[in-house]
Amino acid sequence: MKLLTHNMLTSHVKGVTKGYPLLIKATEVKVNQLDFNPQFVSRMIPKLEWGALVQAAEDLGYRQDLPGELIADYEQNEEFLKKVHRVLLEVEVMEGCLKCPESGREFPITKGIPNMLLNEDDA
């Protein structure tokens, strides 16, 4: 699971009102080299919950020096975009789980793939 995906996910456990962001408990994290595409990163930034991205990167130890607040004019800032590229697309959680911050329900991540299926009681 990439942090771009994590940024877009929320808990869907029944009755939960504050299910975002999901907490990441990782036992294995991998970094894949990937072509840097400044256009895509610039397009994604306005769609992101910036705080959640920085927090997730911090939790996994890949924050680099990303600021807590999104900077202005990031389109022109290649160095910044490269860092965002890294956390969005290169850092991958391979094993671990996602945890609903409110209900505590956990969703396993195996071989890099989250399993978001609910049991009958939380559906």
Partner 1 sequence: MATPCSSSRLRYLIHLAHDNVDFRLPEIKALLALRGKPFHPCENFNEQSPFWCLEGLSEEDVRSVMARSVCAKSAFELWGHGQTDGNLRSSLLNYPPQSMSPFMHKDSTYRINVYTFNKTLQFQDRIKKIDALDYLPFEGTVSLKTPQHIFCLLEDYGTDPNNIPEDPNYIYFGRWIADGQRELIRTHSVKNRHFIGNTSMDAGLSLIMTNHAKVKENDLIFDPFVGTGSLLVACSHFGAYVCGTDIDYNTIHGKGRSSRKNQKWRGPDENIRANLRQYGTEKMFVDVMVSDASKPVWRNAALFDAIITDPPYGIRESTRKTGSYKENTKLPDCTYVESHVPVSQAYHLSDIFTDLLNFSAHHLVLGGRLVYWLPIYRPEYCDEMVPVHPCLQIISNCEQMLSSQTSRRLITMEKVKEPEESDIIAHLSDPHFSAYQGHNAFREKYFSGLNKRCGKEDTKYFNKN
Name the residue nearer to partner 1 (CB basis): 104 or 119: 119
Report the DSSP pairing between strands 91-99 and 106-110. Answer: antiparallel
Closest CB 47 distance from partner 1, rounded Å: 6
Name the residue nearer to partner 1 (CB basis): 66 or 109: 109
Name the residue nearer to partner 1 (CB basis): 59 or 90: 90
Closest CB 79 distance from partner 1, rounded Å: 20
Closest CB 46 distance from partner 1, rounded Å: 10
Please compute Rg for the chain using Cα positions. 15
The letter for the amino acid at 108 is P
Which residue ranges make up the site for partner 1 (CB under 8 A)? 1-2, 4-5, 8-10, 12, 20, 34-35, 37, 39-40, 43-44, 47, 49, 89, 108, 110-120, 123
- Count Cβ atoms within 10 A of the Cβ of residue 33 and give its class: 0-12 exposed, 13-18 middle, 19 or more buried: exposed
CA atoms 67, 70, 75, 76: torsion sign:
negative
